[in-house]
Structure 1
Amino acid sequence: MSKTIFITGASKGFGKLWAEAFLKRGDKVAATSRTISGLQDLADKYGESFLPIALDITDREASIKAVNQAYQHFGSLDVVINNAGYGVFGAVEEAGEQEIKDVFNANVFGTLWVTQAALPIFRKQRNGHIIQLSSVLGVWSLPTLGIYNATKFAVEGFTEALASEVSGFGIKVTLVEPNGYNTDFGGASAVQSKAIPAYDNIKAGLATAEGLQPDDYGKPEATVSAILKLIDTENPPLRLFLGKIGLSKTERIYKEKLDTWKAWEDVAVAAHG
């Protein structure tokens, strides 16, 4: 059965790849981008099944309008995918005030505005699926990506709470957590903070870091089957890693966290009073 899907950040990367995969199999897709010129090829090819929408997701009113436009245009809405976002590269000390505010506006508030826009529709329908594009960096951190980490940790936090809040309305929620992929994430769309030489050695050390080796980066095309399975399954998971790095590294990092908490358990319990 075909679905109606709303996806943000669809002019390139995962967004465009997934949007076209949906269209190819007969789904209806509303796709957003700040400028829709990058969506024209899909509009030409798929006609009435495709609705391109120019949207700045940091504008709450515009986000509400865009989601409702898609719903009214197609007469239904089954899946909302919050894919839009970008990275800030730099140590925490290096990141500028406006850089930090801008990436939080896009990655956190933009995701939140679109989510809030979809919820009344899904509640009325008593069904719907919200998919947030998080990251393995919403589960654990890497040096020089701390600000990006913070945005994805925030998305993980409100989305986990959301899943509990809306399950009774028939609404499903999933956090998709990719490891590194050969997309433009570190390219033109990324922001590079002004460097402080004191952090040069840390940055140089990332050249040998787990998850950042050439073979650690996945092929974007390989994610299509996973996303199609995710939106088609009756009981989707709250969290889904994409790629081979996420689970193995998470198991090790969470063991380290648990070991630390246990080592300090006496202090923690004494602090209870």
Structure 2
Amino acid sequence: MSNWMITGISSGFGRLMAEQLLARGERVAGTVRKLDSVADLTARYGDRLWLAQLDVRDTPAVRRAVDAAYGALGRIDVIVNNAGYGLFGAAEEVTDEQLVQQIQTNLIGSMQVARAALPHLRAQGGGRILQISTMGGQMAMPGASLYHAAKWGIEGFADALQQEVAGFNIGVTIVEPGGARTQFRYGSSQLAPRLAAYDGTPASLARRMLEERKAVPIGDPAKMVELMIASVAQTPAPKRLALGSDAWTGMQRALSARLAELEAQRDLAFSTDAPVGA
């Protein structure tokens, strides 16, 4: 039996992961914004599910929750940074408040959960961190600039963190799912206020998708969660985990284009070096 801590288990990947882990006998420390949102899990699994009410934007509360979870479970083998939401609209449309809340939740909140867990993970001799990101952490689409800003940021953080903590037997895996049939797209995501200037522009496509609610994501979230859980048994920890044909195709196209652009600038880049021996 292993112990897991998952942020944001009231819905989506977090909820499915908690359900799968609890069903197979693991212990879960879960965080939610509203405790009654998982009352059915509490009734079904009793003390194998430890709960904390948490808004990851509250850094002192994050540290208290992580410390309390370790105090209750004794050891936590896997930390899952899952809490987050989508924000769609052109950069100019997004309000200042929406901008700040997006970065506080999807970027700073995840960083602070990991930072709060690291002393415990080092003390116990190792463990894993699963950072839930998105295909949008490696590619970008108009109409989601603030969401991409947070996800590209957390991927940079996690990528460097992998290298910082490997010597402590702590593995870090960035999970990059494509569209999945959860409540993310049509439930928890937010839209920026509309500016007519962006009607008919590429940025308006994301708004239209959310407003029309017709596009059905291709990804099966239960299958994705199974692979997230299975990745913890891999040694060394996979650095990244792409899930969904749309994720693989989109990221492959974006990364190939970026690499081609970089290769074309090789001579230009090398031309700025100081002369050898100068």
Per-residue deviation, 1:197: 2.0
Which whole-Å CA distance do the structure 1 matches of 2:199 and 2:221 have between them? Answer: 30
Per-residue deviation, 1:271: 2.9
Which whole-Å CA distance do the structure 1 matches of 2:267 and 2:60 have between them? Answer: 50
Which whole-Å CA distance do the structure 1 matches of 2:262 and 2:27 have between them? Answer: 48
Q: Could you tell me which residue of structure 1 aligns to residue 7 of structure 2?
A: 8
Q: Could you tell me which residue of structure 1 aligns to residue 226 of structure 2?
A: 225
Per-residue deviation, 1:222: 1.8
C-alpha distance after superposition, 1:136-161 (max 9, x if no partner): 00011011011100100000001111
Per-residue deviation, 1:109: 0.8
Which whole-Å CA distance do the structure 2 matches of 1:123 and 1:203 have between them? Answer: 44
Q: Could you tell me which residue of structure 2 aligns to residue 66 of structure 1?
A: 65
Per-residue deviation, 1:235: 2.4
The DSSP-based 3-state class of the residue aligned with 1:236 is: coil
C-alpha distance after superposition, 1:17-74 (max 9, x if no partner): 1101000001000110111111111111001111111011111111111111111111
Q: Which amino acid aligns with 1:143?
A: P
The DSSP-based 3-state class of the residue aligned with 2:51 is: strand
TM-score w.r.t. structure 2 length? 0.91
Q: Which amino acid aligns with 1:101?
A: V
Per-residue deviation, 1:252: 2.0
Q: Could you tell me which residue of structure 1 aligns to residue 190 of structure 2?
A: 191
C-alpha distance after superposition, 1:150-209 (max 9, x if no partner): 10000000111101000000101010011011112123422211112232222455679x
Q: What is the aligned-residue RMSD (CA, Å)?
A: 1.9
Q: Could you tell me which residue of structure 1 aligns to residue 258 of structure 2?
A: 257
Q: Could you tell me which residue of structure 2 aligns to residue 125 of structure 1?
A: 124
Q: Which amino acid aligns with 1:224?
A: V
Alignment of 1:77-226 (within 5 A): 77-201=76-200, 202-203=202-203, 205=205, 214=215, 216-226=217-227
Contact 2:135 2:250 in 1 (8 A): no
Which whole-Å CA distance do the structure 1 matches of 2:41 and 2:166 have between them? Answer: 34
The DSSP-based 3-state class of the residue aligned with 2:186 is: coil
Contact 1:87 1:191 in 2 (8 A): yes
TM-score w.r.t. structure 1 length? 0.93
Which whole-Å CA distance do the structure 1 matches of 2:162 and 2:214 have between them? Answer: 34
Per-residue deviation, 1:246: 1.9
Contact 1:216 1:245 in 2 (8 A): no
Which whole-Å CA distance do the structure 2 matches of 1:78 and 1:272 have between them? Answer: 46
Q: Which 5+ residue runs of structure 1 have no aligned equivalent?
A: none
Which whole-Å CA distance do the structure 2 matches of 1:213 and 1:133 have between them? Answer: 25
- What is the total number of aligned residue pairs between the two structures? 269
Q: Which amino acid aligns with 1:142?
A: M
Which whole-Å CA distance do the structure 1 matches of 2:193 and 2:47 have between them? Answer: 45
Q: Could you tell me which residue of structure 1 aligns to residue 239 of structure 2?
A: 238
C-alpha distance after superposition, 1:100-126 (max 9, x if no partner): 111100011110111011100000111
Contact 1:39 1:52 in 2 (8 A): no
Which whole-Å CA distance do the structure 1 matches of 2:179 and 2:214 have between them? Answer: 9
Identity %: 36
Which whole-Å CA distance do the structure 2 matches of 1:264 and 1:235 have between them? Answer: 34
Q: Which amino acid aligns with 1:16?
A: R
Per-residue deviation, 1:223: 1.6
Which whole-Å CA distance do the structure 2 matches of 1:39 and 1:54 have between them? Answer: 11
